[in-house]
Amino acid sequence: MPKEKPELSDAMRKKMSVKKAEKNPIKGTKFTIAISSAKGGVGKSTFATNLALALKNIGCKVGLLDADIYGPSIPKMFGINEKPKSDGEKLEPIKKYDIQCMSIGFLTDQETPMIWRGPMVTSAIKTFTQKVNWQDLDFIIVDMPPGTGDTQLTFAQDIKMDGAIIVSTPQEVALLDVKRGIRMFDKLGVKILGLIDNMSFFTGDDGKKYKIFGEGGVKELAKEFKKEFLSEISINPEVGKCGDKGKPIVEADPDHEISMIYLELAKKIKSKYL
């Protein structure tokens, strides 16, 4: 017969409780906000970059941490082609558009595949959260990788995360993964600030809205899990073009209708924390 697991002593329980309470904010920052999807290809990195810029535009000091080790997007979307400086102890974030940025893509060749096992990913994340000289930030926006794996667990267990925003398309196959992401954050005790319905529709030349990926799925999911539904963001070719050029739409065209959506989201987030 299998041996019964020994019950935890009061001392061990106390030690675990203390360890749980000792999670710290990333040094040099006030609030850490994760942008997650659990599903790839839903525009999470586009959302993270533009939200960071919108927060900057309303007077916040913002950092952007690209935590997607296997598929970093920030170097391309911010047009950064340099390596961060280091004093041998800490890395200096690269500043672009008044945003402090860090990504594994700054340290490796863009065409080099990251064939890393879990412990190496965890080590890289700890470097970015403990050995980067983030300076006087109100918010650090973390662009999470897809899935519910090592990166998410490392952040949730070691870092004081102040909230997560979940991005999805209305497509059912995306929503299946989003459900897993919601349950993961709930189980890890990370507050979900709300859900975003990205690429929600496309407005044709005839002025009609075309629901390419379905309709209402993200809003219904928010209702099902009792989370706030934050906004719909449409498909717009300019968003992709700006990102490919290394100047996201909020920076390239602050008055664009998409930029105004990000501005309202930024105001809502700022009001919750500052």
79-102 residue pLDDT tens: 999 999 999 899 999 999 999 999
Crossing angle of the two packed helices 172-188 and 150-158, in degrees rounded to 10 = 30
25-165+237-273 carries CATH number 3.40.50.300: yes
Spans of all domains in the chain: 25-165+237-273
Alpha-carbon dihedral angle through residues 200, 204, 208, 210, given to the nearest 10 degrees? -40
From residue 26, alpha-carbon distances to 130, 132, 158, 168 in Å are 7, 9, 10, 27
Model-level pTM?
0.87
| Separation CA 235–CA 5 (nearest Å) | 53
Over range 169-193, report the average pLDDT. 89
pLDDT of 5 above 60 = no
User: What is the amino acid identity at position 256?
Assistant: H
Give me the chain's average pLDDT, please: 87
In this prediction, residue 6 has a pLDDT band, given cuts at 50, 70 and 90, of very low
pLDDT of 234 above 90 = yes
Q: According to the per-residue pLDDT averaged within each range, which of 41-50, 81-90, 192-201, 245-254 is highest? A: 245-254
Helices within 110-231 (DSSP H only): 118-130, 150-158, 172-188, 217-224
Q: Extract the tokens encoding 93.
A: 């974030």
Predicted pLDDT of residue 12:
39
